[in-house]
Structure 1
Amino acid sequence: MVGPNFQAPPAPEVSGYTAEPRLTPAMATDIAGGAPQNFVEALDVGGQWWREFNSPQINAFVEEAVRNHPDVRAAQYALRAARETALQTRGALVPQVSGDVSVTREQVTAASGGTTGKPLLYNLYEASVNVTYTLDVFGGLRRQVESAEAKAQYQRFEMEATYLALTANVVTSAISDGSLREQIAATQAIVTAETDQLRRVERQFDVGAVSRADVLAQQATLAQTQATLPPLQKQLAQGRNQLMAYLGRLPSEDRGESVSLKSLRLPRKLPVSLPSQLVRQRPDIRLAEATMHQAAATVGVNTANLLPQFTLSPSLGTDALTVGQLFTPNGLAWTLAANVVQTLMDGAQNYRTKEASVATFEQDYALYQSTVITAFQNVADSLRAVQYDAATLRAQALAEQSALESLKMAQEQFKFGAVGYAIVITAQQTYQNAVIARIQAQAMRYNDTVALFQSLGGGWWNRVDETSDALPRNGGYLQGPDGPALSATRTGYVPAIPPSDSDMERLP
């Protein structure tokens, strides 16, 4: 077979994702979402990683999204189409056989034969079998099959990428929904407290204990707090619409299910895949690899097009004037033809096509390398986020506690005339900001964990995402690029990660 024999590129020769040889655990805070988290190298990612949050509602959301979202079904059908195309392409490797049976009633005049007399009337029965077989001398057809199967592999990981993005978006949206609900509830509680404070200040103003300026300052503070509610409510409403879209529902079909941040559990052990495994786990890397594989096979196809094409065309038939004589030796006729075609001059079109495919392969290889770099960056970013956002939550929890104590102290001091009312106003605003920041920091810790699971590939190798929508009708057989053949039956298969990959044979 002409052209390069594709082999997956090796993983980067690094032992970790960060400069430190050992990752520092995420620190703990004694509130919801503040559990300590340790990084465990080589720990496998579960196929249903979202269950680590111990939330029946999140589990229900994900199951509904996978079951109902049109993008999942579209990806399944795209995979089936690619597999059917691969099987169809493979059919070119076997002889193409056609049969023909015909009956003709014909009258021939004597004049057409150069004589005189009555016309000749007869029936002619014909049966023939024609065979066309393209000899794949240089492997061009086999490279076409390889390209089609690489395309099927691309669609398979396109489906996995769709599945991973959908599940991660559902979990993140559910967490954000819970965070916004808590922010709204906290803001409403602060509005209630500030309203009560306004009534007290107004009573004090009525008896001459405070100035009109103090009343106006409290009114302004209350109005500012109330003004923060509509943006939060808008975010919640739009976030609900997005969540409904992920679930495959229309906005009007919202049944009000939600997740409370306090009910979630942070996984104590976080997986950190080995760098050598990440390139086999990330769907986007496998997509880029399949694209490169398809480009390499196309180089082989275009190289074979520069060489002679060999075709065999045997034919066997029989003619008779009656059905009974149709298959007698006297009626048999056969031909055996061989054909060789070589383009002699085409303005270098075939050669330039081959050279363009070589450049396309090199482009895809560069894009593959870029995808790998981005994937490693994603993992490193997620690891850093888990570490530093844990520290942020601890600081925000302390800030909220201090702000509350400061507010209580300012209110007590104001009662005895030790401070002006401006100090109370400042303490109220500081406490409000601290509460909202703490809730946001809680949600961020959960979202960081989601991002880490997503950046590590989402554990697709530990589950079967395919349905009958993704598999060829009436079974089939596809040879996968990972080595073992993949049986494309109606029951599906469990994909496995190959143990290792050798260096890729670069093109000349």
Structure 2
Amino acid sequence: MMDRPGRLGRVGSGCLVLSLLVLSSACMVGPDFTRPAAPRQEAYLRESTPAAVEAEGQVQRFVPGGEVTPDWWRFFQSAPLDALVRQAISDNMTLQAAQARLRQSQDTLMAGYGVFYPQLDARFGASRQRSTLAQQGLTNTGSIFNVLTLSGTISYTFDVFGGERRAIEGLQAQVENQTWLTQAAYLTLTANVVNTAIARAAYAAQIEATQQLIELQRQQLQSTEVQVRSGTSPYSATLSLQSLIASNEALLPALQQKVSQAEHLLATLEGVMPADARLPDIRLTGLSLPENLPVSLPSVLVRQRPDILSAEALLHQASADIGVATAAMFPSFSLTGTYGTAGSSTGSLFSSAGRFWSVGPSVDIPLFEGGRLWYGRQAAIDAYQQASANYRQVVLESFAQVADVLKALEYDAQVLQKQAEAQATAQEALRLLQANYRSGLVTYLELLVADVQLHQVNIAYLQALAQRHQDTVALFVALGGGWWNRPDAGAGGPAP
């Protein structure tokens, strides 16, 4: 009967361990995250979206519910443009940094999972000490001795109220956020490359149009000089034409500077130095306008756009933080065991006399924290409300962006059609005035006005054409870029 208390103690300890294991599987405190509901709207505009828009015989059709192709830039049917985009995807530094941040968040998540496993540590210590009995009020001489210690400790924290699981949930949300930020960087990069290539081509076309106009004006100058020598025109006409030629020539450096800036930006996007860039010659007239334009449903858009999904991930993280802050207000349970040996030398280190061990649970109960835990939880709730408002704002801005682009494409077609008509009219007017001027039927001033008008119309036409191309790019971007249709979409990383 002498060992009964020992048996009861062992049984009690076993029951305590079993109870802690049961507690560790308890439900988690804090809210369970639910994805925001998709909007019920079926359209982006109050008025109906036109089925198609047309300018100069080029028709763009809107396809409601159509799928967005991940390599949407290939619709422009330009092999050099496709090569530019793919090089940027391969070598762009900003995209590589985003990918590294994604890997960092994934590794941080894997490190966080370690809290669910027992923690095992080993320790070895060696010291030489001198003790004195004077500390105990005695006068005996102290002694000098060595202490060697070798021990191991195993500990396990029971996640009774789910604080650790909520923390892991927050890390998972961080991975999701970085995934969508990487997708956003990928989409922004491809759009910037295409838009910059279009702008460069438009500036080059404006330079070519200005040079053609200058050449025409030089031919007019020769005719005017002949008329001045024959006495049929005043010398002031020659001076005015020379002034106009100089003014148009002054426009060329500004346009050439814009071309250089576009090329330098493309080099940066490509991940090379401007001096090392080898950019293909892409002409504005060599770009085909995509004909079939998908228009995703609003309920689908919120599951496609990287910025909306990133805001949703931040909302999920804020929800998990509420659980972490709530669990911190409750007791925490842990079980720790230590086993080791000590001795005055390596020979006695492993003797049975120097062995020691301890095992047992511990409970930490927060009793009074001066409001730190309570207000910490309130701050987490406030952060969740802020993330919720930010999410709704991102959705609103996204819908507005799609609506803006749909209207822009409609107006672009109208503007381009009118500019094309104005261009044809100005060219015919100039041709007739040149013939009449050589015959002496019109004044030089009339011819001069026609020259200026043609130049302005040509520049406006090229700008309208470039704007239509760029707004087409904006539609693909506003719809999310089609990342979900890439073969590697499940891996969460951009295509190689």
For Structure 1 versus Structure 2, the TM-score category normalised by the shorter chain is 0.7 to 0.9
* 1:232 maps to 2:246: no
Specify the alignment match of 1:315 in structure 2: 338
Gap regions ≥5 residues in structure 2: 1-27, 133-137
Match for residue 296 of structure 1 among 310, 319, 322: 319
- 1:21 CA drift (Å): 3.5
Mapped to 2, the partners of 1:209 and 1:260 lie a distance apart of 43
User: C-alpha displacement at 1:135, in angstroms?
Assistant: 1.2
Tell me the equivalent position of 1:159.
Answer: 182
The alpha carbon displacement at 1:392 in A equals 1.2
Q: Which residue of 1 aligns with 2:18?
A: none
- How many angstroms does 1:161 deviate by? 1.0
Cα deviation digits, residues 212-247 of structure 1 (max 9, x gap)? 232233223222222221211111111111111111
Deviation track 1:252-300 (CA, whole Å, cap 9, x = no partner) reads 1233422112221122111111111111111111111111111111111
1:4 aligns with 2:31: yes
Q: Secondary structure at the match of 2:53?
A: coil
Spell out, residue by residue over 1:35-74, the C-alpha distance to the aligned partner (whole angstroms, 9 max, x if none): 2110111211111111111111111111111111111111
Answer yes or no: is the 8 Å Cα contact 1:461–1:494 preserved in 2.
Answer: no
CA 1:158–1:120: 2 relative to 1, 3 Å = closer
* 2:425 pairs with 1:398: no
Spell out the pairing of 1:35-114 with structure 2 (5 A cutoff): 35-100=58-123
Paired residues of 1:174 and 1:259 also in contact (CA < 8 A): yes
Give the conservation status (yes or no) of the 8 Å contact 1:24–1:387: no
Aligned partners of 2:246, 2:287: CA distance in 1, in Å? 33
Structure 1 residues 6-405: aligned runs within 5 Å: 6-30=33-57, 35-100=58-123, 128-317=151-340, 333-405=356-428
Amino acid at match of 1:428: D
Separation in structure 2 between the aligned mates of residue 441 and residue 419 of structure 1, nearest angstrom: 32
Separation of aligned partners in 1, 2:48 and 2:463: 31
- Whether 2:465 is the aligned partner of 1:438: answer no
Q: Out of 398, 413, 430, which is 1:407 matched to?
A: 430
AA paired with 1:143? R
What is the CA–CA distance in structure 1 between the aligned matches of 2:45 and 2:79, rounded to whole Å? 34
1:461 corresponds in structure 2 to: 484
1:448-495 deviation digits (Å, cap 9, x = unpaired): 1111111111111122679xxxxxxxxxxxxxxxxxxx8xxxxx4689
C-alpha change, 1:103 and 1:430, in structure 2 (3 Å) is closer
Q: Distance in 2 between matches of 1:66 and 1:493?
A: 15
Secondary structure of residue in 1 paired with 2:481:
coil
- Cα pair 2:182 2:493 within 8 Å, conserved: no
TM-score by length of 2: 0.86
- Counterparts of 1:120 and 1:372 in 2: how far apart (Å)? 74
CA distance in 1, matches of 2:358, 2:376: 36
How many residues align structurally? 466
Partners of 2:450 and 2:419 in 1: CA distance: 16
SS at match of 1:170: helix
Alpha-carbon distance between aligned partners in 2 of 1:247 and 1:455, rounded to the nearest angstrom: 23
Q: Which amino acid aligns with 1:79?
A: L
Whole-angstrom CA distance in 2 between matches of 1:374 and 1:2: 34
In 2 relative to 1, CA 353–464 (structure 1 residues): closer, same or farther, beyond 3 Å?
farther
Q: Which SS does the other structure have where 1:144 is aligned?
A: helix
Distance in 2 separating the partners of 1:461 and 1:212: 69
Equivalence for 1:451: 474
Query: How far apart in 2 are the matches of 1:104 and 1:195?
Result: 98
Aligned partner of 1:271: which letter?
Answer: P
Q: Deviations over 1:178-200 (max 9, x none)?
A: 11111101110110010110110
Which structure would you say has the larger Rg?
A: 2
> Mean alpha-carbon deviation: is it higher for 455-464 or for 64-73?
455-464
What code does the residue aligned with 1:10 have? Answer: A
Say whether the 8 Å CA contact 1:17–1:380 is kept in structure 2.
Answer: yes
Q: Deviations over 1:69-91 (max 9, x none)?
A: 11111111111111111111121
SS of the aligned residue for 2:333 comes to: strand
Shift of 1:209: 1.1
* 8 Å CA contact 2:99, 2:493 repeated in 1: no
Unaligned runs of 5+ in 1: 467-485, 487-491, 496-508
Cα distance in structure 1, aligned partners of 2:204 and 2:466: 11
Q: Kindly provide the amino acid, as one letter, of the partner of residue 283 in structure 1.
A: P
CA distance in 2, matches of 1:23, 1:334: 81
Checking the alignment, whether the CA contact within 8 Å between 1:174 and 1:258 is kept in structure 2 is no
**For 2:442 and 2:71, how far apart are their aligned partners in 1?**
56
Aligned AA (2:395): V
Among the aligned pairs, what percent are the same residue? 38
Relative to total residues, which structure has the larger helix share, 1 or 2?
2
Q: How far 1:174 moved relative to its partner?
A: 0.7
Query: What letter is aligned with 1:11?
Result: A
- Residues 314-342 of structure 1 deviation map (CA, whole Å, 9 limit, x = unaligned): 23445689999999999865422222122
CA 1:461–1:327 in 2, change beyond 3 Å: closer, same or farther?
Answer: farther
Q: Give the 3-state SS of the residue equivalent to 1:38 in structure 2.
A: strand
Q: Is the 8 A contact 1:403 1:427 kept in 2?
A: yes
Equivalent position SS for 1:16:
coil
Note if contact 1:312-1:338 (Cα within 8 Å) is conserved in structure 2: yes
What is the CA distance between 1:395 and its match in structure 2? Answer: 0.9
Q: What's the TM-score once normalised by structure 1's chain length?
A: 0.84
